[in-house]
Amino acid sequence: METKTTQALTILQDNHYKVTKQRRSLIEFLAQHRDRYVEITKIDAYLRQLFPGMSHNTIYRNLKEFEEIGIVETHVENDQMQVKYQCDYENQHHHHFVCQNCGRVTEIQMCPIDMAFFESQLPGAQITGHRFELVGLCAQCRAAQNSDK
């Protein structure tokens, strides 16, 4: 976990952000949950407990900046924004499998999307990115579900 935390702090500095106690605490919290998406409201509650004077806007702004520089990834589930610590700083273009039961996130290395197919359907448009996510039951949850039967 220390290597990931160090990488994130280096990315902050490389992008000319100060490494404050609040940002360090945010990164450490996210690193503890790096195999799952965390609701922003839970992050907000945790940080405001540590730093009572910290505003909601500061927390949300930092998360947005972290997303822009590649420290976190975002995801929306049930109209709730969630973030997850970046899996792979070397290969930021990747996709996920998300277990609907336990929430564990597994990185998928291959990209199945042919951008030329979509560009032909959107004449004049410029595609700047995409997201691909598989959902289902992970092997552990599926095994537990089958043992309950």
β-partners of residue 133 are 96
3-state secondary structure of 45: helix
β-partners of residue 97 are 106, 134
Helices H / strands E in the chain, number of each? 6, 6
**141 carries a ligand binding annotation:** yes
d(C-alpha 47, C-alpha 42), whole Å: 9
Among residues 58, 57, 85, 55, which one has the least CA distance to residue 71?
Answer: 85
**99 carries a ligand binding annotation:** yes
**130 carries a ligand binding annotation:** yes
Give binding residues for Zn(2+) as ranges. Answer: 99, 102, 138, 141
Give binding residues for Fe cation as ranges. Answer: 93, 130
Give binding residues as ranges. Answer: 93, 99, 102, 130, 138, 141
